Each structure stands twice: as structure tokens, then as C-alpha cells.
Amino acid sequence: MLLRPELIECTDPDPVRHVCGEADLRAEPPPSGARKNSVHPIIFSGLERSDIKIRCTLLSMRVLGIDCGSEYTGYGVVEETAERKLVCHVNGAIKLKSGTPMAAKLEKIFADLTAIIAKHQPEVMAIEDVFYAVNVKSALKLGQVRGVAMLAASSSGLQVAEYSPLSIKSAVVGYGRADKIQVQQMVTRLLNLAAPPQPTDASDALAIAICHIHTAATNSRYAAVSR
Amino acid sequence: MLLRPELIECTDPDPVRHVCGEADLRAEPPPSGARKNSVHPIIFSGLERSDIKIRCTLLSMRVLGIDCGSEYTGYGVVEETAERKLVCHVNGAIKLKSGTPMAAKLEKIFADLTAIIAKHQPEVMAIEDVFYAVNVKSALKLGQVRGVAMLAASSSGLQVAEYSPLSIKSAVVGYGRADKIQVQQMVTRLLNLAAPPQPTDASDALAIAICHIHTAATNSRYAAVSR
């Protein structure tokens, strides 16, 4: 659970510069006893500022990453804790048996993803924004899986965020053209996993979730600064 | 409702040739009082053959045709009656507002199709088997819509049948390269509609449903002959 502080009471003449502009509130530990919509004085650089109060709201940072494929669909749920640690709750891949009718495959993906969402309660689904495929036929197949995955998220009340392969690899490895093994190794280290996630579809899914967490953190800081 | 007769009791030494092979049972009017799983003597060329009995089972011939598109998704429910007449129960198109997030669009398609299925109770969904698209990006978008449409059918217990654009146009117009207007005109005549279905996505969807009915009838006759 990560807390997003919002200024609700302030006697400071320039709170944007003095509080939001100078301090990253997200980097501060949440006030003790903080919970959704609770109101607290702000602790700014270790000093309590009772003239400025913040409302703590839950920031959705449990993310389901999905890596769609026509054979394996990787998934992974990653949470950024209040201490800004990344924790992996689950990862794996849904295998689609070749020879099964497409409609039955899609039903399995929908059912499995809906069950994962119900069990691990992420607030957002992050998915690769694919603009390439080997050919039109494989793009259509991939699109079918992707559509059903997005529907599973949306019908469970999750927001859907899309990221390009370049953004995902850059966010995790720092290099947009990293290969699957490099992504797997970095994901293993970032999530402090005992062993690399298998298959690589699972590590790709975790990378997509991590990319969303990094991007959301950056956006949040940017929004705080430009408020 | 169309009845599929199945031989269940027979003293004829060669029922395949004498009954199924020579007469198209489907062309015979259903026995009076026929209902699901009721047993009747066969009426063969107008004469009752009490030595051969048939079981009447419902043959699923109410078909939902779907024409997927990234802007409009056409739909149409067509039934082949026991008298082999084609009746249109509903037709139209689900419009997807541009600017709406893809996940919300997919949710609308799923919800609308599920509602249409629940209201009109088709037993089969027929859909175009697309192998072409302008480019990979549009193929991915189309695939997403197609995947969700197939899921709506499958999760409502419908079988999904796929037909190539060539088969659909051949079945309805008799010419595989017919344009949308020709398809619309033929659908209007075949279903005896007061006005052409609008938009053409709706007439395309009806054409797909008609194609399935024609194909199923042919397959059924072929199966009866080669039994």
C-alpha cells in the first residue's frame, strides 16, 4: 500500500514550492496510523508542520502485468510497498493447448485472469502496446488474446495501461533493445526472487508491471511539481 | 425450429439406402406433434413407415452472425424455420465511439452481444474468418474485437463457426467477390425485409448467419448420405 498525500489544509503562502515542489511526499514514510482518507499534519524533512495538513489516499500500486501470446500468456502481480520496495505476489503463464478451438482458448484466458485478479486484487492492469507482429494472421490471433485480457481487467474494475516494448525494456533493463534473458535477469534482481521466473512470458509480464510502477511514480512526481 | 430426425428403431435391412440415402428427411415436414426427443414413425414420400421410427431432436438453426470492425460491429440473428424459410429476428450494429478507451469499447461489445444472445437465444455464432487487414495495427484492433465477440458467444454456451469472406459472399450472392451493396440487396431479398439492413455491417452479419445455415444444411445432407 502506497499513500498519496494531498494538501487539504494549508496556511503556508506558497505550499507548492515549500512542500510539494521541494519535497517528494511520496518518499516520506506514511504518517503512523495513516489509512484511506485519514488527515494528518505533514512531516516535512523529519519536522512536523502542523500548519499544513495532508489527506492520505490509497494509491493503487498493485499491478497486474500481462504479456499476451497466442501460445503462452504471461502474468505477474507486483506491488510497490509503502517503503517503495517491489514485491512479486504471483507470476506464471497460461498455456493454450494447440488444437483447442480458439473460442475455448479465449474462455480459458478470461477465466484464469479473472481468478488471478479476484485472488490478488490488483488495481491496474499493464499490457504491452503491440504495433508489430510477424504477419497479419498472427496479429489477428494476438489481438484476440489481448482483447480478452483487456476485457477481463476492465470487467473486474481495473484500469488498463499500455506501454510500448521500448518503454518496458528501458524501465527494467535501461536499454530498449534488451533481449528476453536480460529482462528475466533484471526482473529476478528487482523483485529479489530466488529463481528466474519461468517461462520468459512470466518475466516479461512482471517487467510490464514494473514499468507501470516506475511510470506512475514519475507521473505522480511530475503532477506534484506542476500543480 | 428445425427437426433433425435420427433413426432409433428399424426393421428395414438397409435403412441407410432406403431411408436416409434416398430421402432427405430434413425436407419432410416434421411429424405432427413433434417436439424435442419425441419418437415418431417415419413418413417417407408421403407414406407412413411404422417399421422405422425416428427420434426428433431440435437442430440449432437460430444463428447469430457477427461482422467485426473497429468502429462498427454488425450483428444479426437469423432462423431457418421448419418450413425452411429464413427469418430475421434482429439486426443492427454496435457503434464504438472514437476516443473511448479500448478496454471500455471491448466491455460494451461483450455486454451488448451477451444481451442479444440472452434475448434471442441463438445456438450458434457465425463469424468471418479474417486473414487480411490493411496493416498489422488494424489487424490487432480487429482481433481484439473478434476475440471478445467469440468470448461472448462461448461463455453463453454457443458454438462458434468461422467462414471465409469468399464462402460468405458465395453462399449469399453466388459470387465470391460481391461488394457490400450486392450483399445487402441479396440479404434483403432472402430474408424478405421491408428495407435494406443498415449499416452494411448489419447486412454483412446477416449474410454470415445465412452462410452458416446453408453450410449446416449441406453438411447435414452430406452426413446423411455418407452414413
Residue B190 domain flag: yes
Distance CA A161, CA A45 (A): 33
The pLDDT score that the predictor gives to residue A225 is 67
Contact residues on chain A for B101, CB-CB shorter than 8 A: 160
Q: How many CB pairs under 8 A join A and B?
A: 101
Contact residues on chain B for A131, CB-CB shorter than 8 A: 136-137, 140
The pLDDT score that the predictor gives to residue B24 is 43
Probe site for chain B from A106, A114, A156 (most B CB atoms < 10 A): A106
Residue B1 domain flag: no
In the structure, what pLDDT confidence band is assigned to residue A47 with cuts at 50, 70 and 90?
low
Using CB atoms, which residue from B101, B102, B137 is nearest to A131?
B137
User: What CATH number does the domain containing B82 carry?
Assistant: 3.30.420.10
Using CB atoms, which residue from A101, A110, A144 is nearest to B146?
A144
A154/B130 CB distance under 8 A: no
Backbone angles phi, psi at A85, to 5 degrees: -90, 150
Whether pLDDT at B227 is above 80: no
- To the nearest whole Å, the CA of A2 is away from the closest chain B CA by 26
pLDDT tens column, A57-114? 445 479 999 999 888 999 999 998 877 889 999 999 999 998 999 999 999 999 999 9
Using CB atoms, which residue from A132, A133, A147 is nearest to B148?
A147
Residues B91-126: b if buried by 16+ CB within 10 A, e if exposed: bbbbebeeeeebbebbbbbbebbeebbeeeebbbbb
Chain B residue whose CA is closest to A160:
B103
Chain B residue whose CA is closest to A109:
B151
Contact residues on chain A for B141, CB-CB shorter than 8 A: 143
The pLDDT score that the predictor gives to residue B45 is 58
Cβ within 8 Å of residue A186, ≥6 positions away: A172, A173, A178, A207
Instruction: Let me know if A201 is a catalytic residue.
Output: yes
pLDDT tens column, A130-168? 767 678 888 888 999 999 999 999 999 999 999 999 999
Select from B189, B106, B78 the least CA-distant residue to A146: B106
Determine the average pLDDT of the residues in B77-92. 90
Residue B105 domain flag: yes
In the structure, what pLDDT confidence band is assigned to residue B105 with cuts at 50, 70 and 90?
very high
Q: Give Dmax over CA atoms of chain B in angstroms.
A: 68
* Structural domain span for residue A205: 30-53+61-214
Pick the residue with more confidence: A18 or B58?
A: B58
The pLDDT score that the predictor gives to residue B176 is 86
Residue ranges of chain B whose CB lies within 8 Å of a chain A CB: 101-104, 106-107, 110, 130-133, 135-137, 139-148, 150-151, 153-155, 160
Residue B2 domain flag: no
Lookup: cell for A17: 514550492
pTM of the model: 0.73
Probe site for chain A from B68, B70, B106 (most A CB atoms < 10 A): B106
pLDDT tens column, B154-192? 999 999 999 999 999 999 999 888 999 999 999 999 999
Determine the average pLDDT of the residues in A22-40. 46
The pLDDT score that the predictor gives to residue B123 is 87
The pLDDT score that the predictor gives to residue B135 is 81
Residue A34 domain flag: yes
Residue A123 domain flag: yes
Pick the residue with more confidence: A41 or A183?
A: A183
CA dihedral (B114, B116, B119, B125) positive or negative? negative
B151/A148 CB distance under 8 A: yes
Residue ranges of chain A whose CB lies within 8 Å of a chain B CB: 101-104, 106-107, 110, 130-133, 135-137, 139-148, 150-151, 153-155, 159-160
Residue B49 domain flag: yes
Using CB atoms, which residue from B130, B133, B151 is nearest to A106?
B151
Whether pLDDT at B5 is above 60: no
List the catalytic residue out of A14, A22, A71, A201. Answer: A201
In three-state form (DSSP H/G/I as H, E/B as E, the rest C), the secondary structure along B31-65 is: CCCCCCCEEEEEEECCEEEEEEEEEEEEECCEEEE
Contact residues on chain A for B130, CB-CB shorter than 8 A: 140
Pick the residue with more confidence: B151 or B70?
A: B151
Per the CB < 8 A criterion, the answer to whether A72 and A96 are in contact is: yes
Residue B225 domain flag: no
Backbone angles phi, psi at B145, to 5 degrees: -65, -45
Domain count, chain B: 1
In the structure, what pLDDT confidence band is assigned to residue A11 with cuts at 50, 70 and 90?
very low
Whether pLDDT at B224 is above 70: no
Q: What percentage of chain B has pLDDT greater than the value 70?
A: 68
Average pLDDT of chain A is 79
